[in-house]
Structure 1
Amino acid sequence: MSMKKRNDEPSGMETNRQPAPESGRGLRWTKIGPRLKLATASLLIAALLTGCGAADEGAVPGSGEAAAGGAAAVDAASRESVAGAPQKSAAKEAPTGAAAAQGSEEPSAADASAAESAELQHSDAMPPKAEPRQMPEPQAGMLTAGEWDDLGAWSRWTELIQDSPYPAAWGFAPYRRLTVQATAKGKPARDVEVILQCGGKREWTARTDGKGQATLFAGLLESRSRQDVELQNEPAASSEQQGGSKDQAAAPQDCSVQIDGGNGLLVREAEAKDWAGRVMKLETDREAAQPDAVLDLLLMIDTTGSMADELSYLSTELTNVVSRVKKNIGQNLTVRISPNFYRDHNDEYVVRSFPFLEDAVKAQAHIARQEADGGQDYPEAVAEALTDAVLEHDWSRSARARLMLLVLDAPPHQGLRERESIQHAAAEAAKQGIRIVPVAASGTDLETELLLRTLAVSTGGSYVFLTDDSGIGNGHKQPEGVEPQIMPLNDLLVDLISRHAEG
């Protein structure tokens, strides 16, 4: 995605702006005598009349080199166009004499006049604006991606966020987790509600997955406002501001886990070892009834202007994923699909939502019709999108799996209302058994990455991210501390969805 202006950037500064050429790079002005200057001007005029593109080796600096600037830039732009690369103006590709002279000694009047003539000579050949790079026609399997499960690499995750301000800035403290393995007469107890209580207060509620496992958290949601947490790594910031004190992962006291045991409520006291990584086993007498053979798949896609470089490719990939999922597991499961799209405040729409559909063709049509537009600042209406996805859709009460693919490249707006909305959406998603699977596109920064990974961790999902291997779109951030296997995005998502649906 093309990067948009951050709130903390000076007005008018775009994050995708190309750096100015260094002083003296491309052209160099040298002190020369009056006669040599006259010869220089003559050479420039002769070069323009004969169409010379470059000075011979050993020519006086500032003569043929200056004349070559515009022509060489046009030739380079033409070669890039043929190769499918973006065309650049001559001023960016090779500075003209006037541009190169900035920051160095002033040229003579004759030199400046000749350089100006050279620039005007080639102005008609240069496009007024850089044209977009010619990209291949979208086809399924072109985008590349990786997947990372922080729940499966917990110590690495806690080390990563220990000194980071970002999870706490959004009101999350994802340190103290407890994993439960529930069985029903020896078989995995699927889609069963599990409750964690500490000090008589309900801390977290989740539902078991296809393997009968659930992840519970103590103290996950913080009450501090975002303004209490600095988003800059200043040396004076306290350890609490920078991600919390060193005892964040200390075992909480007086906690218990509750689950329907079949013959009443089964309660198990949580021990220190349970918080240290041991899986708490809950053996129930309940019937090993399977949940309804249903897969709920909700897509929530950022369609702001910054997604323009990849949206058409993502639409093609997701359409392919929907078709393959319906074909592969639709014989055994009822597959319900809800395609949704969001932009930002004051855009054409904030959230454009659709109900769950069993007709995959209709869902695919909704995806294919979307275009990227709007979103003039960096943050987007992510909080509103999450609220709509979790609370405004008719999720199945009983299902094999409930998945939300959150496709985006920018963080939510910074505000207390947004912060509380995101916290509430995460808690409700975990309670309903909705696994949030973020799909991070190009332009995702560190703050956005860690928030998305926190949402995945808190709901039993995993983090998916696009990579540069495809050569499509703008630059993609390599996630912190991960060692993923890179593969085509559509294959990765089909495999991920199938794993959740089949247990």
Structure 2
Amino acid sequence: MTPALFPRCRRPLAVLLCAQLLLTACAATEPPAIASGVRWPTPAPDSRMQVAQALPNFEAPSATHCARPVQTHETPGLQRVARLDRSESRDRRSLADTAAPLEALRKPSPVIAGSLAAPLAEAAPAAIAVPASPSAPRVAMQAPAHAPRPANEPVTAGMVDDNADFSDYLAFRERTPVEHRERDISARYLLQVHDARGTVVPDAEVAVQAPNGAAMWARTDAGGRAWLHPNAFDKAHSEMYEVTVRKNGQQRTAFLQRGQKNAVDVVLDGQPGAAPRRAQLDLVFLIDATGSMDDEIAKLKTTLRAIADQVARLPSRPDTCFGLVAYRDRTDDFLVRRHDFTNDLNAFQSVLDKLQAAGGGDYPEAMNEALNETVHKLSWRGNGTTRLVVLLADAPPHLDYGGPQYDDDMVAALGKGIKVLSVGASGLDKQGEYIQRQIAQYTGGRFVFLTYKDAANPASGPGTQTVHDVGNYSVQTLDRLIVRLVAEELGKLPAGG
């Protein structure tokens, strides 16, 4: 893709004139108006991704409601595939003289509610793809063991906002040498979008382009803001970027010049459409469902109703859709099991109650695959919706597998306006903390961590201590902290939204 930026600045004699014009545009108090019909850039292929996935999915969230029964889709793990193969082998022998097609034997497991996204025969190959480094040992380290806690014991947690304390976050990254997928976020700019009356514009689409064709996408949050990281997508570190914002037929462009200022303000002419009569909230719980997560899953089951009730009583009275994505690992019965959005809280609670912690084996799990399905395969609503993911995990993703990678999908999440609240459960190591904080910071979310009376001993009960590399935090019960973060996000919405 070659953007139409500065088309006349190609001849040497025009360089000085173009530079003068650009500096004049950057100094303007308001961005230049954009004529109707100006092109909207198309996402360019990411060279690090597999050919089949070369075009990132930045399709705008567009679902209009979640008034539907729970729909469940599952990607099987190797245990399921092995059982299926054995069953098919027996059935082929018993049906050798019949004309029944083999596809008739590929039935979904009776333990799964709803319908599969695709026939199991199609899902299996993706689930059992060979790791990128098949010769490497699979076991990185064993998951930490901890004694179960009493069922009625509260779970306490703290929280840090790495975008608010950005210099501390950069220092944390510098002193934490762990394996991860690198995205350079050292250069950071704040985009703020308002309408002509000065009211914030939530959920506006944003495209940022460099003269060399590199581009990134975002959607503003409930407060009309988005963090832009040019080094994360432009390895050439261009000096100038075109920032285009659009919503409901209104479109404006401004220019971002490195080193000139830390924020870019864009004003959309007129009133970019009426806000929904009620705040709309899409809330997803993305959960590591391996054996070491038994305590955390049990606690979520008992507190979900309280979380939902407290969210429903917030001043904005949000219209809330709930989604659940659970994941294990390739050698388990399922790799990813996702339950699409519903507003039926009783049905959602029933689905959560059936979730059991099991499997795992080695320490890293299938977080990459689960985050990919969360971002791309759930029915996210459009039209000014606030979109949040609560990621609850005690282990990092497998970085030795082929297929989706978490950094590509945190970039896609920003493009779709999805914030991730990463919750580090007991046993999360330095690598897991680093990656969870990466995802949260890039998408504009927060890093939440469980706390204990004795930081090194989760069995010691609730308290204020943590093993994580954080400071300046207060402690609440986990359910109240989640509600607080949801309330803060919805509280940024303009009046009437």
Normalising by structure 2, we get a TM-score of 0.64
How far does residue 9 in structure 1 lie from its aligned partner after superposition?
10
Specify the SS of the correspondent of 2:324. strand
1 or 2 for the larger relative contact order (CA 8 Å, sep ≥6)?
2
Q: How many Å apart are 1:502 and its aligned residue?
A: 2.9
8 A contact 2:250–2:269 mirrored in 1: no
Which of 155, 161, 182 is the equivalent residue of 1:171? 182
1:422 partnered with 2:406: yes
The CA distance in 2 between the partners of 1:262 and 1:286, in whole Å, is 11
Provide closer, same or farther for how the CA distance between residues 491 and 440 of structure 1 changes in structure 2, counting only shifts above 3 A: same
Structure 2 equivalent of residue 379 of structure 1: 364
Distance in 2 between the 1:9 and 1:344 partners? 15
1:147 is the counterpart of 2:165: no
Distance in 2 (alpha carbons) for counterparts of 1:496 and 1:462: 9
Cross-structure match for 1:137: 151
**Counterpart check, 1:209 vs 2:193:** no
Q: Is 1:499 paired with 2:488?
A: yes
SS in 2 for 1:498: helix
Q: Is the 8 A contact 2:143 2:361 kept in 1?
A: no
- The residue aligned with 2:385 is 400
How far has the Cα of 1:291 moved from its partner?
4.2
Q: What is the distance in 2 between the residues matched to 1:11 and 1:457?
A: 29
Distance of aligned partners of 1:261 and 1:352 in 2 relative to their CA distance in 1, 3 Å threshold: closer
**1:334 counterpart residue number:** 319
- Asked whether the 8 Å contact 1:323–1:360 carries over to 2, the reply is no
Query: Partner of 1:355: helix, strand, or coil?
Result: strand
Residue 288 of structure 2: which of 298, 302, 314 is its match? 302
Structure 2 partner of 1:272: 258
Structure 1 unaligned residues grouped into runs of 5+: 1-6, 18-131, 224-249
Residues 140 and 363, structure 2, Cα contact 8 Å, conserved in 1: no
Is contact 1:409–1:442 with CA below 8 Å preserved after alignment? yes
Query: 1:204, 1:401 → 2: CA distance?
Result: 20
SS at match of 2:334: coil
Contact kept in structure 2, 1:300 and 1:404, CA below 8 Å: yes
* 1:459-498 matches, cutoff 5 A: 459-469=443-453, 473-474=458-459, 477-498=466-487
Q: CA deviation at 1:164?
A: 3.9
Do the aligned residues in 1 keep the contact of 2:211 with 2:238 (CA within 8 Å)? Answer: no
Answering whether residue 311 of structure 2 is matched by residue 325 of structure 1, we say yes
Following TM superposition, by how much is the alpha carbon of 1:135 offset from its aligned partner in structure 2, in angstroms? 3.6
Q: Which residue of 2 aligns with 1:457?
A: 441
The secondary structure found in structure 2 opposite 1:310 is: helix
What amino acid maps onto 2:360 in structure 1?
A: G
Measure the CA separation in 2 of the matches of 1:10 and 1:202: 36
| Maintained 8 Å contact 2:138/2:362 | no
1:285–1:363 distance in 2 versus 1, CA, 3 Å: same
Alpha-carbon offset, residue 482 of structure 1: 2.7
Range moving further from structure 2, 342-351 or 214-223:
214-223
What is the DSSP-based 3-state SS (H/G/I as helix, E as strand, rest coil) of the residue aligned with 1:299? strand
Instruction: Specify the structure having the higher radius of gyration (Cα).
Output: 1
Amino acid corresponding to residue 378 of structure 1 in structure 2: Y
Structure 1 position 284 matched with structure 2 position 284: no
Please name the residue that 1:355 is paired with.
Answer: 340
Task: Say if 1:488 and 1:266 are closer, same or farther in 2 by CA, change over 3 A.
Answer: same
Task: Give the Cα–Cα distance (whole angstroms) in 1 for the partners of residues 184 and 314 of structure 2.
Answer: 38
1:255-296 residue CA offsets vs partner (Å, 9 max, x unmatched): 22111288864222212345x6x2221122141434443110
In structure 1, distance between residues paired with 2:224 and 2:157: 28
| Residue pair 1:262, 1:287 contacting (<8 A) in 2 also | no
Structure 1 residues 12-47: Cα deviation after superposition (integer angstroms, max 9, x where no partner): 985758xxxxxxxxxxxxxxxxxxxxxxxxxxxxxx
- Partners in 2 of 1:204 and 1:258 — Cα distance? 11
For residue 133 of structure 1, report the CA deviation from its aligned partner. Answer: 5.3
SS in 1 for 2:341: coil
Alignment of 1:221-232 (within 5 A): none
Q: Secondary structure at the match of 1:375?
A: coil
2:81 corresponds to: none
Q: Which amino acid aligns with 2:303?
A: E
How far apart are residue 487 of structure 1 and its match?
Answer: 1.0
SS at 2:163 equivalent: helix
Asked if structure 1 preserves the Cα contact closer than 8 Å seen for 2:275 and 2:384, the reply is yes
The corresponding residue for 1:21 is none
Q: For the structure 1 residues 416 and 174, does the alpha-carbon distance in structure 2 shift closer, same or farther, using more than 3 Å as the test?
A: farther
Tell me the TM-score normalized by structure 1. Answer: 0.63
3-state SS in 2 of match to 1:268: strand
More helix by share: 1
Q: How many residues align?
A: 350
- 1:188 alignment partner AA: V
- Alpha carbons of 1:156 and 1:16: their partners in 2 closer, same or farther (altered >3 Å)? closer
CA contact (8 A) 2:407 2:439 kept: no
* Mapped partners of 1:181, 1:416: distance in 2: 38
| Equivalent position amino acid for 1:335 in 2 | T
Deviation, 1:143, is 0.5
| CA distance in structure 2 between the partners assigned to 1:288 and 1:363 by the alignment | 34
1:263 and 1:286 in contact (8 A); partners too:
no
Unaligned runs of 5+ residues in structure 2 are: 1-134, 493-497
State yes or no: 1:184 paired with 2:170.
no
Could you say if the C-alpha distance between residues 321 and 216 of structure 1 is closer, same or farther in structure 2, counting changes exceeding 3 Å?
same
For 1:12 and 1:217, locate their aligned partners in 2 and report how far apart those are by CA, in whole Å: 32
Percent identical across equivalent pairs? 27
- Structure 2 vs 1, CA of residues 308 and 288 (structure 1 numbering), >3 Å: closer, same or farther? same
Which residue of the partner structure matches residue 98 of structure 1? Answer: none
Shift of 1:205: 1.1
**Alignment match of 2:242 (pick from 256, 261, 265):** 256
Q: 1:470/1:395 Cα in 2 relative to 1: closer, same or farther (>3 Å)? A: farther
Q: Which residue of structure 1 lines up, in the alignment, with residue 421 of structure 2?
A: 437
Aligned equivalents of 2:269, 2:166: Cα separation in 1: 31
C-alpha distance 400-290 of structure 1, shift in aligned 2 (>3 A): farther
Query: Residues of 1 paired with 2:454 and 2:177: CA distance?
Result: 32
User: Given residue 444 of structure 1, which amino acid in structure 2 is its aligned partner?
Assistant: L
2:10 aligns with none
